[in-house]
């Protein structure tokens, strides 16, 4: 022990200011932690507001049972209350009180211009419902609730479909503040009189699109690996000067606008395009279908994502001393054995990083499949965008987005376990 | 694998050596060829993305600068230039936010004892991982609620969020190779933390900051979906205009724009390469 | 109740209208006009936005090309209570949707729009094209087929040439949605035009349409933006394809491509303006002033000098002249020209409003098979 070390009466080590050393160190550690968190806090706050909350909002949309800005039970309070006593299984139309409640709610909804949104909401579940709501709104608003009953006949006069039991079952099933309908649709399931069932196999869309998205992303990841590995190896092996020059050939496409690269592939791959012209010039007679199908998507996306494979591979390979391979060979290993047993295992972190990065990015692709995918090569993202912008079924778009988000986060988790998110390198 | 073939190489080794080079050459060709085809097509005299017979005959009549003139608004339509200006306004602001907040956070994250370090890093990198269609749909709803949808600020904030992962990744990478004893030495000589940061730390991590900033910049400069949903006409950026050019009206002006952008990319890449060499010199690593 | 509303509404309109005419200082000096981009938006800029700007120096007109997402974006803007658009160009179906949802302003057409030069009130002059209380019609356009003249042995006369792969080998371009395709498939399968929608309401009818489309499915390129078919035809990628007639006109007349028009069973549709609901008074005054000018008889006829879409006003038709640059007579290129309009049908907005979601998912499932 050094002479100036202090002890208290219990024999604990004291710091220079007289506090126990352990406590003093703990305080220093705490200060360090706080300082680090203070440095991170502004960004954390920023990302939370600009990114995390929006994602949360989207997740909420997938279960909220709304038409326009308002919840269904708020728009149809009377119907929601009365319809609880009606059972779809009874096979009979709802009783008069339900129709009377409908007349009340529809009149209010018409005043507030909500009746067509209600119709649109139910139309997602049962085709044809939007028209009966639209048709009835104006007529119902002229009725007097007190004196004009009974309303069942009046509704049936407007449209026979007001007696359709399937429609009423839809209303009953969607009368809460929250709904599972969008998730059911996202999994190609539907509510029937016998409970929840999968749709007919030839009516399924989203499960097929999801499988296709995952399969094509896997294929694209494999292609980027097959093409990227030799190039990364060459780059790692060359002297830094020439490697950096060649690296520009990798980075240039990476920096060129995605839209531009996609349209370039459009020009190259079409039937009267550059590649097919060359093919014919070689003496072949049949032109190849390279675009508007899955092949086109794989060719274009492999090109676009290749740098994301090469860069992590290269940064890992650069750290492997070439002497290892030489040592293996001088110990009698053949080229193949030296590669398989010595070099390749050391590059696996790079392969893992590159593959997962490419795969995760590919799963979320939208623009390239939209422009070169045709009918065969579209991804789940394209359908989300369609539901979101053209069809306006925001709930379904959100539910599909949530499913996709879960898949991606799962992959991200695996990525983190295998590679560590703090080990991603970009060139 | 070796850089040069030794004189004693066997026949098999020779074959492998050349085959390998040819494979790599083909991959490089695949990477570059699509970009190269754009350049001649941008001088097409016609309004379609097609190599015309005149172009293939190298007939001067098949070529023209009209798509470049269109870009600069020669026909009185300044939408391309306006879109370009919007991109030039939005991208630097988004980059500035991403870089300043991102660098601070990266410094925080590389401190010795950070609680929840993994979770925080994962969260900060997630904008790069979450598919853009999901991000943009979420932003569309949320920004609409808080009055940011369709505003300049909304687009800037959205793009800044997308750029942040790149800054975090590059700056933490530079910082992890940063020699902490330098800051201790500065502190020892009486420098306060702020002085230490600007005089010692900053110059050394600057290449990482710049490279992260460039990634953030290009992310904003090349982003379509988010701006399409979060933005409105007043914030129409260059990629948005290009997307319209591809979908609503096939306009080869986008090829002229592409050629201009590729040229800018080459200049930027050269800048990065020079910066990288400078940083290696400063850290005492000489390129071999 | 309804009557009161109308009276109050009309009074408000009149007051606003009078104020607008009395004092142009109350009008906003900036206006955001949303349209479809491309040649169509250009025709609007040339025919009425530029002339209007000349009459109103200092006015700033911002153009947006978001009409494709108009319904979604307007919904979001109105949810957020911040509508930045002043005037939106939409198809009739979207116009009706926005009107029903209260997102578009209801207007009194006779009050707001200029009468024809001979004094015919606007409602009569526009006639049946006023499909909703919010909709201000501009043009009639059609979705129809174009074909490569140098790739066919004989000129196709009937839309069923699309399904005749023996006489017309090669790929076809069709829109990636059920609307239009289902109707054509049934017509070519022998269903009378009056029975088409009744047939489509039945499961067998839908299957019948898909079975017809199945015969060309593997030779079809599916498009989602109107510009794709002209590009595919110009490249020789497809032998025939559907798109908006104005796109084909510009490929044929302006770009000189070897493309011919196949007008048989063209599908008519309408396009027009809607004004978002609840605009502030100064912006509303500006928009009304602009719309009155932009939809008068002469302006709608002027637009036809830039694009081959038929003016929605009856009184504009005789004034349709020559193409602004090429000097060719425009009337024979209009979808409404009697020679082109022998077999036509109108896009049935009401029917599709109910069945679109359902048929669309069936169509997507069919594409995936």
Which chain C residue lies closest to B246 (C-alpha atoms)? C227
- Determine what percent of chain A is predicted with pLDDT higher than 70: 96
CA distances from A303 to A220, A249, B265, C67 (A): 9, 12, 18, 33
Question: What angle do helix axes B132-145 and A53-61 make, rounded to 10 degrees?
Answer: 90
C219 and C350, same structural domain? yes
Q: Is A345's pLDDT higher than 80?
A: yes
CB contact under 8 A, A253 and B31: yes
Write down the pLDDT at residue C22.
41
Q: Is B76's pLDDT higher than 80?
A: no
C245 and C292, same structural domain? no
Domain encompassing residue C178 = 143-266+346-368
Q: Which helix (H) or strand (E) holds C173?
A: strand C172-175
CA distance B270 to B262: 12
- Asked if A32 is an interface residue toward chain C (Cβ–Cβ < 8 A), one would say no
Specify the CATH superfamily of domain B78-282.
MetI-like (1.10.3720.10)
Mean predicted lDDT score pLDDT of chain A: 87
Say if residues C137 and C126 touch (Cβ distance below 8 Å).
yes
Q: Residue C84 is nearest to which of B232, B247, B248, comparing CB atoms?
A: B232
Query: Which chain A residues are Cβ-neighbours of B34 within 8 angstroms?
Result: 253, 261, 264-265, 268, 303
C111 and C258, same structural domain? no
Q: Is A415's pLDDT higher than 80?
A: no
- Asked if C219 is an interface residue toward chain A (Cβ–Cβ < 8 A), one would say no
Q: Is C123's pLDDT higher than 90?
A: yes
Q: Is A270's pLDDT higher than 90?
A: no
Residue A100, exposed/middle/buried by CB under 10 A (0-12, 13-18, 19+)?
buried
Both tokens of B253, joined, read 């002006």
CA distance A258 to A54: 25
C235 and C149, same structural domain? yes
Q: Higher confidence at residue A287 or residue B50?
A: A287
Q: Say whether A11 sits in a helix, a strand or coil.
A: coil
CB contact under 8 A, B249 and C82: no
Say if residues C295 and C302 touch (Cβ distance below 8 Å).
no
Q: What does the H/E/C string look like for chain B?
A: CCCCCCCCCCHHHHHHHHHHHHHHHHHHHHHHHHHHHHHHHCCECCCCCCCCHHHHCCCHHHECCHHHHHHCCCCCCCHHHHHHHHHHHHHHHHHHHHHHHHHHHHHHHCCCCCCCHHHHHHHHHHHHHCCHHHHHHHHHHHHHHCCCCCCHHHHHHHHHHHHHHHHHHHHHHHHHCCCCHHHHHHHHCCCCHHHHHHHHHHHHHHHHHHHHHHHHHHHHHCCCHHHHHHCCHHHCCHHHHHHHHHHCCCCCHHHHHHHHHHHHHHHHHHHHHHHHHHHHHHCCCCCC
The predicted model gives C172-179 an average pLDDT of 93
CA distance A92 to chain C (A): 24
In a domain, C336, yes or no: no
The predicted model gives A154-163 an average pLDDT of 92
In a domain, C54, yes or no: yes
Write down the pLDDT at residue C192.
94
Within 8 A by CB and 6+ apart from B145, the residues are A57, C79, C80
Residue A350: pLDDT band with limits 50, 70, 90: confident
C223 and C173, same structural domain? yes
Which chain B residue lies closest to A427 (C-alpha atoms)? B170
Four-residue CA torsion sign, B83, B84, B86, B87: positive
Q: Higher confidence at residue A319 or residue A226?
A: A226
For chain A, give the longest Cα–Cα distance: 104
Q: Is A304's pLDDT higher than 90?
A: yes
**How many residues make up chain B in this entry?**
288
Write down the pLDDT at residue A422.
59
Which chain C residue lies closest to A129 (C-alpha atoms)? C354
Q: Higher confidence at residue B6 or residue A370?
A: A370
- Determine what percent of chain C is predicted with pLDDT higher than 70: 93
CA distance C3 to C149: 58
CA distance B7 to chain A (A): 16
- Asked if C68 is an interface residue toward chain A (Cβ–Cβ < 8 A), one would say yes
C193 and C121, same structural domain? no
Write down the pLDDT at residue B283.
65
Q: Say whether C334 sits in a helix, a strand or coil.
A: coil
The predicted model gives A253-278 an average pLDDT of 86
Say if residues A220 and A298 touch (Cβ distance below 8 Å).
yes
In a domain, C225, yes or no: yes
Q: Is B288's pLDDT higher than 90?
A: no
C74 and C152, same structural domain? no
Nearest-5° Cα angle at A275, A269 to A278: 160
Token pair 């172009």 in the structure block, residue: B55
Q: Higher confidence at residue A378 or residue A19?
A: A378
The pTM assigned to this predicted structure is 0.86
Go through B73-106 and write b for each residue having 16 or more CB atoms within 10 A of its CB, e for each that does not. eeeeeebbebbbebbeebbbbbbbbbbbbbbbbb
Q: Residue C353 is nearest to which of A130, A374, A393, comparing CB atoms?
A: A130
C223-247 pLDDT, tens digit per residue, is 988 888 998 898 888 999 999 999 8
- Asked if A369 is an interface residue toward chain C (Cβ–Cβ < 8 A), one would say no
CB contact under 8 A, A252 and B24: no
C12-60 pLDDT, tens digit per residue, is 443 444 444 444 568 899 999 999 877 788 899 999 999 999 999 999 9
A99-142 pLDDT, tens digit per residue, is 999 999 999 999 888 888 899 899 888 888 888 898 898 889 88
Residue A14: pLDDT band with limits 50, 70, 90: confident
Write down the pLDDT at residue C283.
95
Please state, as a whole number, how many other Cβ atoms lie within 10 Å of the Cβ of residue A351. Answer: 19
Q: Judging by DSSP bridges, how do beta strands C136-148 and C60-64 pair with one another?
A: unpaired
CA distances from A3 to A16, A18, B140, C80 (A): 13, 15, 68, 72
Picking from A107, C336, A372, A57, the residue whose alpha carbon sits closest to that of residue B247 is A372
CA distance C32 to C89: 11
Q: How many structural domains does chain C have?
A: 2
CA distance A273 to B50: 8
Query: Which chain A residues are Cβ-neighbours of C68 within 8 angstroms?
Result: 389-390
Residue A151, exposed/middle/buried by CB under 10 A (0-12, 13-18, 19+)?
buried
Q: B interface mutation test: which of C75, C84, C307 has the most B CBs within 10 A? A: C84
Domain spans in chain B, listed from the N-terminal domain onward:
78-282
Residue contacts between B and C (CB atoms, under 8 Å): 75
Q: Higher confidence at residue C76 or residue B135?
A: B135
CA distance C275 to C288: 9
Both tokens of B1, joined, read 């694998």
**How many residues make up chain C in this entry?**
369
**How many residues make up chain A in this entry?**
427
B182-239 pLDDT, tens digit per residue, is 878 888 888 887 888 788 878 878 878 888 888 888 889 889 889 988 888 788 899 9
CA distance C195 to C142: 21
Say if residues B273 and A244 touch (Cβ distance below 8 Å).
yes
Write down the pLDDT at residue B249.
66
Write down the pLDDT at residue B285.
52
Phi, psi of C265 (to 5 degrees): 50, 45
CA distance A249 to B215: 17
In a domain, C363, yes or no: yes
Please compute, for residue A59, the number of CA atoms within 13 A of its CA located in the half-sphere on the CB side. Answer: 11
C299 and C245, same structural domain? no
Which chain A residue lies closest to C78 (C-alpha atoms)? A69
Helices (H), A19-150: 21-47, 53-61, 72-75, 77-82, 96-111, 115-123, 129-141
Instruction: Sketch out chain A's domains with CATH numbers.
Output: 6-61 (no CATH), 71-179 (no CATH), 206-423 (1.10.3720.10)
Q: Residue A69 is nearest to which of C79, C221, C365, comparing CB atoms?
A: C79
Q: Residue B124 is nearest to which of A47, A303, A412, comparing CB atoms?
A: A47
Q: Is A292's pLDDT higher than 90?
A: no
A78-96 pLDDT, tens digit per residue, is 999 999 999 988 889 999 9
Mean predicted lDDT score pLDDT of chain C: 88
Strand partners, C242: C145
In a domain, C341, yes or no: no
Say if residues A381 and B131 touch (Cβ distance below 8 Å).
yes
- Asked if C7 is an interface residue toward chain A (Cβ–Cβ < 8 A), one would say no
Query: Which chain C residues are Cβ-neighbours of A395 within 8 angstroms?
Result: none
C128 and C44, same structural domain? yes
C207 and C99, same structural domain? no
CA distances from C12 to C9, C107, C133, C203 (A): 5, 11, 16, 49
Picking from A239, A374, B244, the residue whose alpha carbon sits closest to that of residue C224 is A374
CB contact under 8 A, B242 and A43: no
Write down the pLDDT at residue A193.
73
CA distance C121 to C109: 9
Write down the pLDDT at residue C19.
41
Strand partners, C32: C62
Q: Please tell me what DSSP assigns to residue A289.
A: -
The torsion defined by the Cα of C329, C335, C336 and C339, in degrees rounded to 10, comes to 70
CA distances from B5 to A238, A323, B1, B12, B14 (A): 13, 16, 9, 12, 7
Picking from C225, C71, C98, the residue whose alpha carbon sits closest to that of residue A393 is C71
Please state, as a whole number, how many other Cβ atoms lie within 10 Å of the Cβ of residue C1. Answer: 9
CA distance A321 to chain C (A): 50
Which DSSP string corresponds to C233-292?
HHTTS-SEEEEEHHHHHIIIIIS--SEEEEEEEEEEEEEEEE-BTT--HHHHHHHHHHHH
Picking from C368, B188, B131, B7, the residue whose alpha carbon sits closest to that of residue A360 is B131
CA distance C32 to chain B (A): 8
C200 and C286, same structural domain? no
Say if residues A220 and A379 touch (Cβ distance below 8 Å).
no
Q: Is B170's pLDDT higher than 90?
A: no
Both tokens of C350, joined, read 């009401």
Write down the pLDDT at residue C110.
94
Residue C256, domain CATH: 3.40.190.10
CB contact under 8 A, B246 and A259: yes
C350 and C215, same structural domain? yes
């Amino acid at each position: 022990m050094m002479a100036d070390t202090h002890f208290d009466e219990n024999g604990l080590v004291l710091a220079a200011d007289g506090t126990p050393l352990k406590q003093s160190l703990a305080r220093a550690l705490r200060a360090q932690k706080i300082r680090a968190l203070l440095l991170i806090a502004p960004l954390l706050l920023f990302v939370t507001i600009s990114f995390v909350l929006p994602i949360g909002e989207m997740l909420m949309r997938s279960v909220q049972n709304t038409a326009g800005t308002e919840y269904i039970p708020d728009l149809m309070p009377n119907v929601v209350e009365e319809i609880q006593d009606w059972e779809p299984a009874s096979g009979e139309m709802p009783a008069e009180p339900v129709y009377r409640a409908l007349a009340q709610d529809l009149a209010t909804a018409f005043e507030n211009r909500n009746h067509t949104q209600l119709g649109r909401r139910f139309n997602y579940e049962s085709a044809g419902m939007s028209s009966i709501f639209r048709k009835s709104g104006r007529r119902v608003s002229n009725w007097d609730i007190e004196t004009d009953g009974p309303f069942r006949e009046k509704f049936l006069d407007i449209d026979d479909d007001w007696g359709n039991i399937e429609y009423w079952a839809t209303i009953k099933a969607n009368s809460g503040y929250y709904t599972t309908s969008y998730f059911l649709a996202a999994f190609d399931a539907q509510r029937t009189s016998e409970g929840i069932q999968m749709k007919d196999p030839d009516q399924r869309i989203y499960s097929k699109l999801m499988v296709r998205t995952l399969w094509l992303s896997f294929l694209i990841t494999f292609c980027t690996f097959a093409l990227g590995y030799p190039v990364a190896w060459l780059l790692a092996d060359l002297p830094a000067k020439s490697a950096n020059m060649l690296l520009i050939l990798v980075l240039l496409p990476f920096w060129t606008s995605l839209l531009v690269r996609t349209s370039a592939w459009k020009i190259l791959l079409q039937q009267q395009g550059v590649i097919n012209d060359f093919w014919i010039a070689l003496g072949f007679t049949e032109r190849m279908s390279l675009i508007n199908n899955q092949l086109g998507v794989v060719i274009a996306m492999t090109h676009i994502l290749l740098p994301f494979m090469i860069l992590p591979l290269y940064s890992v390979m650069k750290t492997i001393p070439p002497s290892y391979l030489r040592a293996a060979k001088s110990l009698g290993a053949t080229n193949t054995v030296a590669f398989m047993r010595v070099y390749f295992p050391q590059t696996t972190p790079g392969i893992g990083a590159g593959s997962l990065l490419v795969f995760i990015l590919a799963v979320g692709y939208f623009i390239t499949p939209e422009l070169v995918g045709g009918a065969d090569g579209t991804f789940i993202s394209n359908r989300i965008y369609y539901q979101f912008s053209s069809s306006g079924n925001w709930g379904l778009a959100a539910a599909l987005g949530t499913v996709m988000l879960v898949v991606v986060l799962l992959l991200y988790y695996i990525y983190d376990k295998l590679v560590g998110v703090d080990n991603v390198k970009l060139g | 694998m070796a850089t040069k073939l030794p004189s004693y190489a066997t026949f098999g080794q020779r074959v492998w050596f050349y085959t390998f080079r040819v494979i790599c050459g083909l991959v490089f060709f695949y990477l570059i060829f699509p970009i190269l085809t754009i350049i001649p097509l941008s001088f097409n005299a016609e309004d379609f993305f097609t190599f015309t017979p005149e172009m293939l005959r190298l007939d001067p009549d098949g070529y023209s600068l009209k798509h470049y003139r269109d870009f600069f608004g020669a026909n009185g339509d300044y939408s391309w230039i306006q879109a370009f200006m919007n991109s030039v306004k939005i991208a630097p602001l988004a980059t500035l936010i991403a870089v300043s907040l991102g660098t601070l956070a990266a410094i925080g994250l590389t401190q010795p004892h950070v609680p929840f370090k993994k979770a925080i890093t994962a969260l900060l990198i997630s904008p790069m991982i979450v598919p853009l269609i999901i991000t943009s749909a979420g932003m569309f709803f949320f920004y609409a609620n808080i009055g940011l949808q369709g505003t300049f600020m909304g687009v800037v904030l959205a793009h800044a969020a997308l750029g942040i992962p790149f800054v975090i990744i590059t700056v933490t990478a530079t910082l992890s190779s940063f020699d902490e004893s330098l800051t201790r030495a500065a502190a020892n000589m009486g420098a306060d933390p702020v002085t230490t940061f600007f005089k010692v730390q900053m110059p050394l991590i600057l290449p990482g900051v710049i490279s992260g900033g460039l990634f953030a910049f290009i992310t904003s400069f090349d982003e379509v979906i988010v701006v399409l949903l979060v933005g409105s006409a007043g914030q129409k950026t260059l990629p948005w205009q290009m997307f319209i050019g591809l979908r609503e009206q096939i306009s080869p002006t986008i090829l002229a724009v592409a050629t201009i952008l590729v040229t800018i990319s080459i200049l930027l890449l050269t800048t990065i390469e020079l910066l990288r060499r400078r940083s290696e010199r400063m850290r005492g690593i000489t390129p071999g | 109740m309804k009557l009161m509303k109308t009276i109050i509404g009309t009074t408000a309109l009149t007051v606003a209208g009078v104020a607008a005419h009395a004092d142009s200082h109350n009008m906003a000096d900036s206006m955001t006009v949303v349209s479809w981009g491309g040649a169509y938006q250009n025709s609007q800029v040339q025919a009425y936005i530029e002339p209007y700007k000349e009459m109103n120096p200092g006015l700033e007109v911002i153009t947006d090309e978001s009409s494709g997402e108009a319904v979604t974006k307007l919904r979001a803007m109105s949810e957020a209570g911040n509508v930045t658009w002043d005037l939106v160009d939409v198809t009739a179906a979207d116009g009706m949707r926005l009107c029903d949802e209260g997102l578009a302003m209801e207007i009194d057409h006779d009050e707001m729009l200029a009468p024809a030069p001979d004094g015919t009130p606007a409602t009569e002059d526009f006639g049946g094209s006023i499909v909703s209380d919010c909709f201000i019609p501009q043009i009639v356009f059609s979705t129809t087929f174009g074909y490569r003249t140098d790739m066919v042995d004989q000129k196709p006369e009937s839309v069923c040439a699309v399904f005749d792969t023996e006489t017309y080998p090669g790929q076809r371009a069709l829109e990636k949605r059920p609307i239009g395709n289902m109707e054509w498939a049934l017509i070519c399968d022998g269903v009378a035009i009056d029975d088409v929608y009744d047939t489509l309401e039945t499961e067998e009818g839908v299957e019948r349409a898909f079975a017809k489309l199945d015969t060309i499915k593997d030779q079809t390129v599916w498009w989602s933006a109107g510009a794709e078919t002209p590009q595919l035809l110009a490249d020789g990628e497809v032998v025939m394809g559907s798109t908006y007639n104005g796109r084909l006109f510009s490929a044929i007349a302006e770009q000189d491509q070897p493309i011919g028009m196949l007008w048989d069973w063209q599908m008519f549709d309408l396009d027009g303006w809607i004004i978002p609901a609840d605009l502030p008074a100064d912006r509303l005054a500006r928009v009304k002033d602009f719309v009155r000018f932009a939809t008068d008889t002469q302006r709608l006829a002027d637009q036809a000098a830039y694009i081959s879409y038929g003016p929605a006003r009856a009184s504009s038709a005789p004034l349709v002249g020559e193409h602004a640059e090429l000097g060719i007579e425009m009337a024979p290129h209009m979808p409404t020209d009697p020679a082109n309009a022998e077999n036509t049908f109108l896009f049935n907005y009401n029917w599709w409003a109910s069945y679109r979601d359902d048929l669309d998912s069936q169509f997507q499932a069919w594409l995936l098979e």
